[in-house]
Amino acid sequence: MSSHDYSMANAGTFGARFARCIIYGLLIFFAMVYLMPLFVALVTSFKTLDEIRLGNLMTLPSNWTLDSWKAAWGTACIGIECNGISPYFFNSLKMTVPAVILSTVIGALNGYVLTKWRFKGDNWLYGIILFGCFVPYQVVLYPMATVLGQMGLAASTTGLILVHTVYGVCFSTMYFRNYYIAFPNELISAAKIDGARFFRIFWSVLLPCSGPIIVVSIIWQFTNIWNDFLFGASFNSGDAAPITVALNNLVNSSTGVKEYNIHMAAAVLAALPTLLVYIVAGRYFVRGLMAGSVKG
């Protein structure tokens, strides 16, 4: 290799490293900007009110304390009664977990039928289901409230489970349908020849291969249902309210001195489950979305 070629190779290597440093520097910068509110919320939750009044939101607490966390978990005011925020936290769990499971199972069955048990008009049916993904929450508030009232499920956790299951089936059906459409039809035909029927094929053939898209559906549904405020505020109240409604009432019910440390601690507690879900299974989210994008 000549000296000219060697210098050109070094220049190319230097340019690639410089470009990589620029890209990583920008990514770190934007990540810091994005995470700044979370940092402020965390450090504020460990401060006393006297220290918060001094300003300096970005500084670490001089005296770390868990009093605000204990107060947020134990004193959230709903209406005229003051209860702990923990009951509303568990209300959200009791609402979210069944709704996620039901919408995921129904969506998986829908995707299975729409791809492996084709029938006349199946594409039209899928189009109607897909249309439900684009219907805003506000459009269905009055019809949904009417239906829940007629069924006797108004102002109950069961009613919210039904609402989120129905609304989430559209998304889960879309995920599973796009995933199963790339699944080899030959395996389904072989199972039919061996005598397997509808549910046996689904349980023994498709479901064991559906791990990535199940994770996608669970993460999507859990995040949307847990963070929902509009349905929770519209269809539930009082002791059956979810955590988002309790958090809103906690912040707005404060009179006189605003206890920002308690508010921040409550906000972090409310966001903790979705954060844990993404930490545990977030890396599988994009992988699951892309799993059924290429056939063959």
CATH of the domain at 109: 1.10.3720.10
How many C-beta atoms surround the C-beta of residue 3 within 10 A?
7
| H/E stretch holding 29 | helix 3-45
Q: What is the dihedral of CA 244, 248, 251, 252, to 10 degrees?
A: -170
Give the global pTM.
Answer: 0.81
- Domain contains 20: no
How would you label 71-99 residue by residue, b for 16+ Cβ within 10 Å and e otherwise?
bbbeebbbeeeebebeebbebbebbbebb
- Domain contains 49: no
CA proximity to 95, closest of 186, 165, 192? 165
- Domain contains 19: no
Domain residues for the domain of 162 are 81-291
- Domain contains 102: yes
Q: Could you give the angle at the alpha carbon of 173 between the alpha carbons of 155 and 98, nearest 5°?
A: 35
Burial of 101 (0-12, 13-18, 19+ CB in 10 A): middle
Yes or no: say if 141 and 236 are a contact pair by the CB < 8 Å rule: no
Number of domains in the chain: 1
Question: What backbone phi and psi angles, to 5 degrees, belong to 227?
Answer: -85, -5
- Domain contains 218: yes
- Can you give the pLDDT of all 296 residues of the chain as single tens digits? 555 554 554 555 666 777 888 899 999 999 999 889 888 889 988 888 888 877 777 788 888 888 888 888 875 444 434 456 888 899 899 999 999 999 999 999 999 998 888 888 888 888 888 888 888 888 888 888 888 888 888 888 888 999 999 989 999 999 999 888 888 888 888 888 888 788 888 888 888 888 888 988 999 899 999 998 888 888 887 778 889 888 888 777 666 667 788 888 888 999 899 888 888 876 776 666 666 554 44
- Domain contains 67: no
- Domain contains 279: yes
Q: What tokens were used for 179? A: 């995933």
- Domain contains 2: no
